[in-house]
Amino acid sequence: MKGYRMLLTELIQTASADLPVAGLKDHLRLGTAFGVDGLQDGLIEAHLRAAIATIEARIGKALLTRDFKLSLPDWRSLSAQTLPLAPVVAVTRLSVFDVMGVEMVLDAARFALQADTHRPKIVAVGMLFPNVPSDGRIEIMFSAGYGPAWANVPADLRQAVMLLAAQYYETRHDAAASAQGFGLPMAVQSLIERYRNIRVLGGGAAKGGAI
C-alpha cells in the first residue's frame, strides 16, 4: 500500500452567529462592564474557536456540523475506509483522481456510511472500491457534527468548551501560563473523557483512556 498520509480540510468555517459568544460572556460574568456592549466579542469568539478546535482535536469529534474534505493517497482497504471524525451525518461525494487530476465520481449506490460513535466508515457495496492510479488520490466529501446549533452539542462538551475558553481568556496576558504546555485542566479532561477514542495496535481503536 502507498504511504498512508491524509489531509483533512474544513471547507466552511462555523459562522460567528452560531458560536455561544453571549454564553461565554455570561460564564465570565462580563455583562456590559466594559461600557460598550459587544466590545470584546471578537476576543471572546477567538477564544471560543481555540477551545472548540482543541477539544475536537482531542476527541476526534466535530461539535457543530460542517463540511469537510478528506484527501488520501490510497484506500486503507478496498472494502472499507475509516473516517477521521465523528459523528458523520452524510457522505456527499466520493471520487478517485488520476495523476493528471481527472476525476472519477463513484455512484452513491456503490458505497454506504457505517455510523459509529468513534470510528465511522464508508463501506463498499456490491463490489470493492476501485484501485487508485499511481500517484493518484481519493477525495471524500462529508458532513460531520452533532448538529447545526450549539444546543445540539452534548451538554458535557458544551461545558468543557466554556471552561477551556474561559481559561484562555483569563490567562491571555499570562506568558508563564501560556508557556506551560498543552495539558488540559482536569475538569475539562473529565468532561471529555468518554468521547475520546484511543488508537492502538497499528490503527485499531479502544474507547476511553487517559489524556
- Domain parsing of the chain, residue ranges: 1-181
Contact, 164 vs 188, CB < 8 A? Answer: yes
What's residue 39's pLDDT?
62
What's residue 69's pLDDT?
98
Return per-residue pLDDT of the chain as tens, 211 residues. Answer: 455 588 999 999 999 999 999 999 988 886 554 444 566 788 999 999 999 999 999 999 999 999 999 999 999 999 999 999 999 999 999 999 999 999 999 999 999 999 999 999 999 999 999 999 999 999 999 999 999 999 999 999 999 999 999 999 888 776 545 545 457 899 999 999 999 876 543 344 444 433 2
196: nearest Cα among 146, 157, 155 = 157
Q: How far is CA 84 from CA 6, 10, 106, 167, 170, in A?
A: 9, 12, 20, 28, 32
